[in-house]
């Protein structure tokens, strides 16, 4: 217990799936959590459950990660409420399966606005506040799609590839500026979340067939455990890294 005690985290897209599991793990280990999402009812329900288990540990803020002004407000409200900012988990995302030729410019821009521009805006807004708090950890959620050729997820792959590259540049920049801020990316494979379940339905792929495959289907808690490690002081020498969480899928 207490692996991130005294730390304050912002988790985007925290109302379900990976983000929800991240919030639960961070709160369980002593962090204060600011959960943001566009799904207000679901986000507020998660925060209510967190506060029932760990009184006063969490607040909910509505946030569209594409909105630069809102990012500044979220960081400001976080510091005003909890006094500091130590952890940012850029988790918000979406996926619309489309091949390169079928992809619309609108959907390509949507994926990149949420997952590429959203990560950029989050890091830009959070870094000054983290530096004032003495440093911290930024965890950018990418995907094994950034390593593999997934034409059916063309826009998603492009956006997650940008996250992978930005993470490295941000890690070096923060080190050059002596901010004491580490920036790492995680790259989950197929994980048992509502987004993946809905996606499998769209593609007509039985979720059981994924579960029964060699690598199987990861659980949100599997990813949250790695987020917790990266958020904690246990990973102080891990910086600019990309952690692949896919049970060897990407090397087969």
Q: Active site residue: 153, 156, 179, 237, which one?
A: 156
- 115 within 8 A of 93, measured Cβ to Cβ: yes
Which residue carries 């930024």 as its tokens? 138
CB atoms within 10 A of CB 147: 20
- Assess whether 237 carries a catalytic annotation: no
Burial of 10 (0-12, 13-18, 19+ CB in 10 A): buried
Alpha carbon of residue 9 to chain centroid: 12
State how far the Cα of 135 lies from the Cα of 247, in Å rounded to an integer. Answer: 32
Sorted by sequence, the CB contacts under 8 Å of residue 248 that are 6+ apart come out as 214, 215
SS3 53: helix
**CB-based burial, 49-75: b 16+ in 10 Å, e otherwise:** ebbeebeebbbbbebebbeeebbbebb
Annotated catalytic residues are 156
């Amino acid at each position: 217990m207490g692996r991130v005690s005294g730390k304050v985290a912002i988790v985007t897209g925290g109302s379900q799936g990976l983000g929800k599991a991240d919030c639960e793990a961070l709160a369980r280990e002593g962090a204060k959590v600011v959960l943001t999402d566009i799904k207000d009812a679901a986000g507020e329900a998660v925060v209510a459950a967190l506060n029932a288990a760990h009184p006063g540990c969490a607040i909910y803020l509505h946030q569209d990660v594409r909105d630069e002004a809102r990012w500044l407000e979220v960081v400001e409200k976080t510091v005003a409420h909890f006094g500091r900012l130590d952890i940012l988990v850029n988790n918000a995302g979406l996926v619309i399966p489309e091949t390169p030729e079928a992809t619309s410019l609108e959907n390509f821009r949507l994926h990149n606005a949420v997952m590429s521009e959203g990560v950029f805006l989050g890091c830009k807004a959070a870094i000054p506040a983290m530096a004032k708090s003495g440093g911290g950890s930024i965890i950018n959620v990418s995907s094994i799609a950034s390593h593999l050729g997934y034409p059916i997820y063309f826009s998603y792959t492009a956006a997650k590839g940008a996250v992978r590259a930005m993470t490295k540049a941000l890690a070096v920049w923060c080190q050059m500026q002596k901010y004491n801020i580490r920036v790492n990316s995680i790259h989950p494979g197929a994980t048992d979340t509502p987004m993946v379940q809905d996606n499998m339905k769209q593609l007509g792929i039985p979720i059981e067939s994924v579960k029964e495959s060699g690598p199987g289907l990861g659980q949100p808690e599997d990813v949250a455990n790695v987020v917790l490690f990266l958020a904690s002081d246990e990973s102080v020498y891990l910086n600019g890294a990309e952690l692949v969480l896919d049970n060897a899928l990407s090397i087969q």
